[in-house]
Copies of this chain bind each other. A is one copy, B any other.
């Protein structure tokens, strides 16, 4: 059954496999009259594309986006926007030999069990390459949000057990794109980078934690009791491959707090209601409060590692070993950042439009 459309008022439908001719996305519900060029989208794709640094896969894809519809004279028309990204550097040769031996930590086995038949080249639809379409769609969501004063940031806060120190919003804005691990604490970034290189030289990979922040979200986004803003954010972020946990505000730390510690007191500041702390992460009762929205995701280590692993042969139903060749990132958090931002942007753009009839 269907599962490739995300959003109710501002929606994306993505398609494409890692080693097929192309991948893409259709954006439906984008307001009309928004200025939009391929450069707006390309900027975000360039942040995600492979081969940017030596902590990412050497696969070379320029991920050049083409707008095929929905734009006229440089502006959106309110009709669906179709974006196309051709695959250019697919190398399927490494996958033929492992098509019947599912890679541990990957979706090979579950796709086989669900569909019976699957495109095993480069992980097919389950490849992280699929996220380029999300990033392209998210770039348009970001344009919608920026027009309403909403900004989205993300940064690596932990990598290979190295934790970043607390940073300011300005440090995130300034530092994230200045280092290959996308950590705003530059000292920690250096240590993290060492961990990545060490993992690679060990034929292994490492996990980490990414924080996503939305600034400028007004009170009122979110539709209780099931389309709550935090619920939709959790769905959006948990649905990114490699994410195994999502928390908002104090997150799992709240389990050890008391109510008097956790509750964010209200006060009047310059005639406006504000909170003096933000353990709630900007969402109360599933509705944005006007405070910054703050989430963190746990990102597992890249499952593709260049050392032998135990697996099975699905044809003979016997135990065997696999050595994955292909080209892979030794760690995912730095490259997941534009994807996580995109998913956050898509949720917020959707709720912006859903909440708009109240104004």
User: Hey, which chain B residues are within 8 Å of A66, CB to CB?
Assistant: 21
Which stretch, A39-47, A53-61, A106-114, touches the partner chain B? A106-114
Q: What is the copy number of this chain in the assembly?
A: 4
CB 8 Å contact bits of A148-167 with B (1 = contact, 0 = none): 00000000001011000000
Question: Using Cβ atoms and an 8 Å threshold, which residues of chain B touch A20?
Answer: 68-69
Q: Distance (Å) between the CB of A339 and the closest chain B CB?
A: 12
Chain A, 265-294, contact with B by CB distance < 8 Å: what is the 0/1 string? 111100101011001110111111110000
A13 at interface by CB-CB < 8 Å: yes
A3 to B304, CA, bound (A): 39
Interface centre among A115, A204, A255, A261, by most B CB within 10 Å?
A255
Structural contact, B238 and A248, CB atoms closer than 8 A: yes
Q: Which of B15, B31, B79, B254 contacts A119 (CB 8 A)?
A: B79
In terms of DSSP, what is the predominant structure of the interface of chain A?
mixed
A52 within 8 A of B: no
Q: Which residues of B contact A355 (CB under 8 A)?
A: 1, 114
Would A280 and B105 count as touching, CB distance under 8 A?
Answer: yes
Q: Are B22 and A68 in contact (CB under 8 A)?
A: yes
With A2-B7, A17-B69, A248-B245 given, is the CB distance from A114 to B78 under 8 Å? yes
Q: List 7 A-B contacts (CB under 8 A).
A: A2-B11, A3-B228, A17-B77, A32-B358, A254-B300, A258-B301, A263-B305
